[in-house]
Amino acid sequence: MGQRTDRQPDAVDPAWALPAFLRSLQSLSANTQVAYGRDVTQFVEWLARGACADPTDLDHATCRRYLAFLSTRRLAARSVARKAAAMRAYLRYLHRTGVITTDPSRSLRAPKGAARLPRVPRRNEAAAMLDRAGAASTSPDADERGEALALRDVALLELLYGTGVRVSECCGLTLQTCDVRRRHVTVLGKGAKTRRVPLGEPAAAAVRAYLERGRRRLITADTPPDLLFVNSRGRALSPRDARRILERHPLPDGRALHPHVLRHAYATHLLEGGADLRTVQELLGHADLATTQVYTHLTRDRLRAVYEATHPRA
């Protein structure tokens, strides 16, 4: 794997097949691999402390005791749900590969964390942020390098908000997968699934300006030749770099956004504008429509707030 967990799986008894399980996750996103690796390692270490000496001794009651143990640590229900999902995935793998004869996690119930969305910027707030970033890219006081970085920032912000792609997907774009002329981007999403997302004219114009006047000033001899976004050192732009860029471009109220919030804003504003749920699901690359339906609650809450604040008999 390209990512490391918090602990080394090699320290775990080989009977638990932990390294092999971690290798089986390579089709998932890097963040999911790290989270599952950490959670499953913690599960196996808990078992090794006396709950279960060997995979063949695992049973349903042991799995339930582990969930009860997690609850004593005062973890949020959402965290327990994630750890339970990692445990189930691991036990399914052990069953599938013949390490255990039955899956003891079947029918195991775990708390479901409430789906919480961050506060999404309104349309005018997002527009103001993008307009200010665009003005910075045309500042007469900026030198060539400063202008190049500003153009890159605008292109990144416009792409994140204008396409709703995940920050990791955006950082992975190449000159070939970002087609400015045809105005679409092709991204490799979760589960190694590819999807094509339309590129709006503001985003296309920002990317075009970055390619014409910005990127060539940032690349170095070590820059991957087909990479779209690079950082100030000419290396691949990382999600952490993207977060720092957003911190430099806050909303009008001074609030800095996480890149994923722009994805939430993209979905919310599409639904508020009349887009149907299935279309938004395809654009976001969600495998399950239920994941997309979370955004309908947010838009209903906003509509109710407007109604209660403005209607005389609300």
Task: Specify if 61 maps to a domain.
Answer: yes
Task: Specify if 48 maps to a domain.
Answer: yes
Domain match, 135 and 217 both:
yes
Question: Which entry of 7, 213, 258, 260 is annotated as an active-site residue?
Answer: 260
Domain match, 14 and 147 both:
no
Domain match, 84 and 194 both:
no
User: For position 220, which CATH number holds?
Assistant: 1.10.443.10
Task: Specify if 101 maps to a domain.
Answer: no
Task: Specify if 39 maps to a domain.
Answer: yes
Model pLDDT for residues 216-254, shown as the tens digit of each residue: 999 999 899 899 999 999 999 999 999 999 999 999 999
CA gap 171, 230 in Å, rounded:
8
Question: Which entry of 190, 195, 217, 235 is annotated as an active-site residue?
Answer: 190
Question: Which entry of 95, 215, 269, 286 is annotated as an active-site residue?
Answer: 286
Task: Specify if 106 maps to a domain.
Answer: no
Domain match, 155 and 62 both:
no
Domain match, 152 and 268 both:
yes
Domain match, 61 and 150 both:
no
Are the beta carbons of 15 and 55 closer than 8 angstroms? yes
The residues, ordered by sequence, that sit 6+ positions from 12 with a Cβ below 8 Å of its Cβ are 18, 41, 44, 45, 48
Question: Which entry of 36, 93, 210, 295 is annotated as an active-site residue?
Answer: 295
Question: Which entry of 95, 152, 166, 215 is annotated as an active-site residue?
Answer: 166
Q: Is the whole model's pTM more than 0.85, yes or no?
A: no
Domain match, 144 and 79 both:
no
Active site residue 36: no
Active site residue 122: no
Question: Which entry of 263, 264, 266, 269 is annotated as an active-site residue?
Answer: 263
Task: Specify if 62 maps to a domain.
Answer: yes
Are the beta carbons of 187 and 195 closer than 8 angstroms? yes
Domain match, 274 and 197 both:
yes
- Domain enclosing residue 65, as ranges: 9-96
Asked if pLDDT for residue 9 goes beyond 50, the answer is no
Active site residue 258: no
Active site residue 307: no
Active site residue 190: yes
Domain match, 160 and 248 both:
yes
Domain match, 207 and 83 both:
no
Among 96, 111, 133, the domain-final residue is 96
- Tell which wins on pLDDT, 314 or 196: 196
Active site residue 260: yes
Among 96, 114, 137, the domain-final residue is 96
The mean pLDDT of the chain is 87
Domain match, 127 and 71 both:
no
CA gap 105, 88 in Å, rounded:
6
Asked if pLDDT for residue 78 goes beyond 90, the answer is no
The residues, ordered by sequence, that sit 6+ positions from 268 with a Cβ below 8 Å of its Cβ are 120, 295, 298, 299, 302
Q: In total, how many domains does the chain have?
A: 2
Model pLDDT for residues 149-192, shown as the tens digit of each residue: 999 999 999 999 999 999 999 999 999 999 999 999 999 888 77
Residue type for 230, please? Answer: V
Are the beta carbons of 213 and 151 closer than 8 angstroms? yes
Are the beta carbons of 158 and 214 closer than 8 angstroms? no
Domain match, 92 and 129 both:
no
Model pLDDT for residues 192-206, shown as the tens digit of each residue: 789 999 999 999 999
186 Cα distance to chain centroid: 17
- pLDDT in the model for residue 219: 95
CA gap 115, 192 in Å, rounded:
24
